[in-house]
Amino acid sequence: MTALVYVVILGSVLVFIIGSVARAVRYARQPMHLRWELYPVPHEEPQRVRHGGSYFEEVDWWTKPRRFNLLGELRVMVPEMLFMKGLWEFNRAMWARSFPFHFGLYLLIATIGLVALTALLDLLAPCVVCDTLGMGLHWLYTAMGVLGLASAFIGAAILLFRRLTAEDLKAYTTPGDIFNLCWFIAAFGSLFAGVFLKDPDSPSTVAVVRAVLTFDTSVRIPGLLAMGLVLSALLTAYIPFTHMSHFIGKYFTYHSVRWNDHPVRPGDRIEKKLAEYLTYKPTWAARHVCADGTKTWAQVATTDPTHGGRK
Amino acid sequence: MSREEKKPLVHLENEDLMPMPHPLEDPAKDHKWSSLSSQAREKYECILDDTCAVNVPQPKTPEEEKELVRKFLSGLDKLFTRENNWTFLQPLVLTMEHCAKCQTCSTACHIYEASGGNELYRPTYRSEVMRRLYFKYVKHGGLLSAWQHGDIQLNWPLVARLIELSYRCNLCRRCAQTCPIGADNGLVAHELRKLFSQEMGIAPKELHDKGSMLQLEVGSSTGMNPMVAKDNIAFIDEDTTERTGITVETPWDVEGADVLLIHNAGEIMAWPENPGAFALILNAAGIKWTLSSDLAAYDAINYGLWYDDAQFARVAIKHAEAAKKLKVKKIVVGECGHAHKALAVIADRILTGDLNIPRESSMTLLRDIVMSGCLTLDPSRNNFPVTLHDPCNLVRLMGVVEPQREIVRKICPQFREMWPHGVDNYCCGGGSGFAIMSGNNFQDWRFHVSGRKKLQQILNAFADCLGPETLKYVCAPCSNCKGQIRDMLAYYGLWEKHRILYGGLVELIVNAMEDVKPGFIEWEWH
């Protein structure tokens, strides 16, 4: 039984990684689209970012050097990723529910990282974690874990409540959305209970993680904790196949769409890509498009749809 | 949406709409909406709401309906293939697959807000329909997918309503700006319009037959061929000379000019003072500039931007070819928001090779001229309340925010901002072609619903001086926005009763020029 729990945990992590990478690769391989940016674009010059301006505000902008304002991007990205600044700004009621949930997830991810680090140190250099550092790590991941679990659990519960009661959300909520939130509640609830209701003689969190990493099946994981681990692991594997993978999509919606203001320069990488796209052969059926499946985009774009009279 | 009953899904009354400030605060005194004619209802698919924008003929037989649904599905499939839609595939897929349905976008949408929060106009409503269709018919999701993403019944009434619903969005993308994930409901409306046009040949006649097709056929959506355009400009030159006391001559087809200026040809027809003012300013500043009389090159409009990639590319190429032929250094787009975005931004990844001729906004050129001091300006000539409308295409979608403000701040002592403004502005309500669409009773919808928020902003901006004793000016540096604002001010009698006039930016500049006879801005309704 313990082995099965390990297989589920390790397998789920693997599925999560493969699923997430596959999804990211799928988006990355899609053709470069026409420009569709939205201002403000934060990597613009600082004096322009303030009012949402672009390089188009300069006469002869193509003759001016363009500087990528990384700090400007970070100023937007970091608060957005950590604190969901956009939601705070535009939908405070949703932020109050969504932030505890997401921040709880971040804390849990950090907790897993710390516990895994402790377990590895314990395996590879036990003397390092046997003293003050070990105690420090123990208290840190315990505090983060408790706060993360509680925050994510409460966040999922109040998100579910809002989904079921708010008029503006109900009509757009599918059984799948309810199921997803219930899954979070069940997984975090059982993890929480599993950690805090376990027998004092049960293996510590670090011991469990170390056992998973070394596939040591001699460790006896309490039933409730095992259930929490399995539910959480399966949920992790499930996420890349749902809209909950928006942490992947968001990278592209921001960097490839909203903030993608790269102008085409003669002979540059973009122009080469465009040259390929213009050889695609569209099959749109409306007569005025004049796409018969043999003409390329370049030919379609230079076809006069009025030739020989209006079509 | 799938309801078989051939009746509209919603009906709005003035009392349902967002409250307005003084003097339009009483919904009972507001204009009654004119009803759709029984002829329109019998002939066309008008089963969405109180109006009808596209005039899709009703299919006569169930077989015809099935064929239309089949075409719709075929187009839907093509929207998600790289060969057919490399132009917008990635943002569309991202939007389809990541909306968290948090409804943050709804509070940003002026149409949803103005409608009093009617569900049909919620930005996610249209997208949710599209999303369910995507997972069911493009991704071929089965029961599990329906459980996860929601099911939908596809039939002809749904398609017919979706056609109309794709024309209840101004494509201003204010919703996208607020989306925490970056999903873009405006793009969904845009892509649906493309599907209907490029696969089914369905688009409002104002955009297609009388829009992009007319432009490609005779040179301008106004119907002006090059000769008529030249005649009209010659008349404008004469008129401007007479009004200003400065000889104005517009150069045509000057090879090797620094600037090819392209106006929205609607200015030539409806607001001749605008091209006249441009000519006067550019000449006074010593700019070597020209207009082009090549097909489509004297009309900056590009309606394909709103509904059809092929038409869009064709017009953009015509503009660039004219510039290439004249060997100009750059193209400058006149006061037309969508032409700015079309030519400077979106066409950037179409105009490759020798067609990649630099393109810029007239706002920056004008700002540099005004700030350079080469014109002698007297701001006291513009000593009346002025507010500035931000065209979405120019500001939120292109990032040209400050140049026009710098000018207005310099030459208009009583300038006041609308709130919000800049990249957070609200659409005029005429965006994405609505300003030129007036079939059936569509105007009623765009005055009462899509333009309502902008009108509220205008009234609020002039709240301290609404009385008729104070002349007021809404500066809208975009033909489309100007048309919408003109129509709304006229509809609500705001010029007659409150002396609110509208106009462009160059008119304010010329009005402030000391060398020009005073009174270039004529305080008359036009």
How big is chain B, counted in residues?
A: 526
Q: Over A82-103, what HEC string results?
A: HHCHHHHHHCHHHHHHHHHHHH
In chain A, residues with a C-beta closer than 8 Å to the C-beta of B98 are 243, 245-246, 249-250, 253
Predicted local confidence at residue A311, as pLDDT? 41
User: Would an 8 Å CB–CB cutoff place A62 in contact with chain B?
Assistant: yes
B320-357 pLDDT, tens digit each: 999 999 999 999 999 999 999 999 999 999 999 999 99
User: Would an 8 Å CB–CB cutoff place B403 in contact with chain A?
Assistant: yes
Contact check, Cβ <8 Å, A172/B124 = yes
Predicted local confidence at residue B245, as pLDDT? 96
Beta carbons of B126 and B169 less than 8 angstroms apart: yes
Beta carbons of A86 and B181 less than 8 angstroms apart: no
**Amino acid identity for residue A141 in this structure:** Y
Contact check, Cβ <8 Å, A169/B150 = no
- Cis previous bond, B379, omega within 30: no
In chain A, residues with a C-beta closer than 8 Å to the C-beta of B399 are 37, 39-41, 44, 48, 52-57, 261
Predicted local confidence at residue B523, as pLDDT? 94
Q: What is the mean pLDDT of residues B250-259?
A: 98
Beta carbons of A193 and A146 less than 8 angstroms apart: no
User: Would an 8 Å CB–CB cutoff place B346 in contact with chain A?
Assistant: yes
User: Would an 8 Å CB–CB cutoff place B75 in contact with chain A?
Assistant: yes
Contact check, Cβ <8 Å, B147/A176 = yes
Taking the C-alpha atoms of residue A97 and residue A134, their distance in angstroms, rounded to an integer, is: 34
Task: Pick the closest to residue B445 from B480, B406, B487, B393 (CA basis).
Answer: B487
Taking the C-alpha atoms of residue B354 and residue B350, their distance in angstroms, rounded to an integer, is: 11
Phi, psi of B128 (to 5 degrees): -65, -40
Predicted local confidence at residue B126, as pLDDT? 97
B82-136 pLDDT, tens digit each: 999 999 999 999 999 999 999 999 999 999 999 999 999 999 999 999 999 999 9
In chain B, residues with a C-beta closer than 8 Å to the C-beta of A301 are 310, 313-314, 317, 350
User: Would an 8 Å CB–CB cutoff place A25 in contact with chain B?
Assistant: no
- From the list A94, A175, A286, the residue facing B200 with the nearest CB is A286
Cα B484 to chain center, whole Å?
9
User: Would an 8 Å CB–CB cutoff place A48 in contact with chain B?
Assistant: yes
- What tokens appear for B294 in the block? 């090549």
Q: How far is CA B170 from CA B65, B76, B165, in A?
A: 28, 21, 11
Would you tell me how many other CB atoms lie within 10 Å of the CB of residue A161? 12
State the best of A26, A36, A311 to mutate against chain B, taking most chain B CBs within 10 Å.
A36
Would you tell me how many other CB atoms lie within 10 Å of the CB of residue B343? 29
What percent of chain B clears pLDDT 70, i.e. is strictly above it? 100
Place of tokens 């089949």: B70
Would you tell me how many other CB atoms lie within 10 Å of the CB of residue A202? 17
Q: What is the mean pLDDT of residues A246-268?
A: 95
Beta carbons of B59 and B68 less than 8 angstroms apart: yes
Tell me the count of A-B CB pairs closer than 8 A.
Answer: 273
Task: Pick the closest to residue B306 from B224, B217, B220, B393 (CA basis).
Answer: B393
**Exposed, middle or buried, B11 (CB in 10 Å: 0-12/13-18/19+)?**
exposed
First-to-final CA distance of chain A = 71
Taking the C-alpha atoms of residue B477 and residue B454, their distance in angstroms, rounded to an integer, is: 15
What is the layout of strands, in order, in the sheet containing B289-290?
A: B289-290, B259-262, B330-333, B359-361
In chain A, residues with a C-beta closer than 8 Å to the C-beta of B86 are 31, 33, 277, 280, 297
Task: Pick the closest to residue B53 from B185, B158, B161 (CA basis).
Answer: B161
Contact check, Cβ <8 Å, A288/B317 = no
CA–CA min distance B435, chain A (Å): 22
Taking the C-alpha atoms of residue B441 and residue B51, their distance in angstroms, rounded to an integer, is: 6
**Amino acid identity for residue B165 in this structure:** L
User: Would an 8 Å CB–CB cutoff place B230 in contact with chain A?
Assistant: no
Contact check, Cβ <8 Å, B422/A274 = no
Beta carbons of B133 and B76 less than 8 angstroms apart: yes
Q: What is the mean pLDDT of residues B239-243?
A: 97
Parallel, antiparallel or unpaired: strands B386-388 and B359-361: unpaired
Listed in sequence order, the DSSP H helices in B151-264 are 156-165, 174-178, 185-198, 213-218, 226-244
Task: Pick the closest to residue B462 from B412, B417, B523, B405 (CA basis).
Answer: B417
> ∠ CA B149-B150-B156 to the nearest 5 degrees?
120
CA–CA min distance A73, chain B (Å): 15
- Cis previous bond, A40, omega within 30: yes
Q: How far is CA B184 from CA A70, B256, B426, in A?
A: 25, 42, 16
Would you tell me how many other CB atoms lie within 10 Å of the CB of residue A196? 11
Taking the C-alpha atoms of residue A69 and residue A137, their distance in angstroms, rounded to an integer, is: 37
> ∠ CA B335-B336-B339 to the nearest 5 degrees?
135
In chain B, residues with a C-beta closer than 8 Å to the C-beta of A251 are none
- From the list B310, B365, B402, the residue facing A301 with the nearest CB is B310
A157-178 pLDDT, tens digit each: 999 999 999 999 998 999 999 9
Contact check, Cβ <8 Å, A39/B402 = no
B463-484 pLDDT, tens digit each: 999 999 999 999 999 999 999 9
Contact check, Cβ <8 Å, A303/B314 = yes
Predicted local confidence at residue A122, as pLDDT? 82
Q: In the predicted model, is pLDDT for residue A138 greater than 60?
A: yes
CA–CA min distance A249, chain B (Å): 6
- Give exposure, B280-291, as e/b (b: 16+ Cβ within 10 Å): bbbbbbebebbb
Taking the C-alpha atoms of residue B123 and residue B109, their distance in angstroms, rounded to an integer, is: 7
pTM given for the model: 0.95
Give the residue extent of every domain in chain A.
2-30+84-241
Q: What is the mean pLDDT of residues A55-82?
A: 95
Q: In the predicted model, is pLDDT for residue A258 greater than 80?
A: yes
B261-296 pLDDT, tens digit each: 999 999 999 999 999 999 999 999 999 999 999 999
Parallel, antiparallel or unpaired: strands B472-475 and B386-388: parallel
Task: Pick the closest to residue B395 from B315, B293, B481 (CA basis).
Answer: B481
- From the list A30, A280, A297, the residue facing B90 with the nearest CB is A30
- From the list B90, B314, B397, the residue facing A252 with the nearest CB is B90
Name the closest residue on chain A to residue B345, using Cα atoms. A35
- Cis previous bond, B23, omega within 30: yes
Cα A21 to chain center, whole Å?
11
Name the region of B302 (left: φ>0; alpha: ψ -120 to 50; beta: rest).
Answer: beta
Task: Pick the closest to residue B345 from A47, A41, A45 (CA basis).
Answer: A41
Q: How far is CA A118 from CA A136, A199, A203, B19, B43, in A?
A: 10, 22, 15, 61, 74
Predicted local confidence at residue A309, as pLDDT? 47
Contact check, Cβ <8 Å, A305/B88 = no
Contact check, Cβ <8 Å, A286/B197 = yes
Taking the C-alpha atoms of residue B156 and residue B159, their distance in angstroms, rounded to an integer, is: 5
**Exposed, middle or buried, A106 (CB in 10 Å: 0-12/13-18/19+)?**
middle
B164-185 pLDDT, tens digit each: 999 999 999 999 999 999 999 9
Q: In the predicted model, is pLDDT for residue A310 greater than 50?
A: no
Taking the C-alpha atoms of residue B475 and residue B335, their distance in angstroms, rounded to an integer, is: 11
How big is chain A, counted in residues?
A: 311
User: Would an 8 Å CB–CB cutoff place B223 in contact with chain A?
Assistant: no
Beta carbons of B400 and A53 less than 8 angstroms apart: yes
Name the closest residue on chain A to residue B152, using Cα atoms. A174
What percent of chain A clears pLDDT 90, i.e. is strictly above it? 75
User: Would an 8 Å CB–CB cutoff place B98 in contact with chain A?
Assistant: yes
Contact check, Cβ <8 Å, B199/A284 = yes
Contact check, Cβ <8 Å, A175/B82 = no
- From the list A253, A257, A284, the residue facing B84 with the nearest CB is A284
Q: What is the mean pLDDT of residues A178-194?
A: 94
Contact check, Cβ <8 Å, B104/A90 = yes
Name the closest residue on chain B to residue A170, using Cα atoms. B101
User: Would an 8 Å CB–CB cutoff place A243 in contact with chain B?
Assistant: yes
Cα A232 to chain center, whole Å?
17
Taking the C-alpha atoms of residue B377 and residue B411, their distance in angstroms, rounded to an integer, is: 7
Taking the C-alpha atoms of residue B190 and residue B205, their distance in angstroms, rounded to an integer, is: 17
User: Would an 8 Å CB–CB cutoff place A46 in contact with chain B?
Assistant: no
Taking the C-alpha atoms of residue B379 and residue B384, their distance in angstroms, rounded to an integer, is: 10
- From the list A38, A274, A288, the residue facing B396 with the nearest CB is A38
Name the closest residue on chain A to residue B333, using Cα atoms. A56
Q: In the predicted model, is pLDDT for residue B74 greater than 60?
A: yes
Superfamily of domain A2-30+84-241: Transmembrane di-heme cytochromes, Chain C (1.20.950.20)
Give me the residues of B, 293-332, that contact A with CB < 8 A.
Answer: 308, 310-311, 313-314, 317, 330
Contact check, Cβ <8 Å, A301/B313 = yes
pLDDT averaged over every residue in chain A? 92
Contact check, Cβ <8 Å, B402/A51 = yes
**Amino acid identity for residue B3 in this structure:** R
Phi, psi of B498 (to 5 degrees): -130, 5
User: Would an 8 Å CB–CB cutoff place B225 in contact with chain A?
Assistant: no
